[in-house]
Amino acid sequence: MSGTRRENIKPGVKVRVVQKQDQRSGKLTEGVVAKLLTNSATHPHGIKVMLDNGIVGRVKEIVE
């Protein structure tokens, strides 16, 4: 599932995010959503979230 729609992402969901410094390489970091930081319903580059370990990034994949 894509991470561009806010309705698909809830706290507690396991996701893969790209951090700001990893945008060029595309390196993904896996974690559990603690907080949603994007207020709009959609975002073309992914909804920005904070993971439970404090990492902030844009959701690229939702892990089933």
- The per-residue pLDDT of the chain, averaged, comes to 96
- Whole-model pTM: value is 0.92
User: How many Å apart are CA 41 and CA 34, to the nearest integer?
Assistant: 18
Residue 36 near residue 17, CB atoms below 8 Å: no
Neighbours of 45 (CB within 10 A): 13
Q: Which residue reads 């709009």 in tokens?
A: 40
Q: Specify the pLDDT at position 64.
A: 80
Q: Specify the pLDDT at position 2.
A: 81
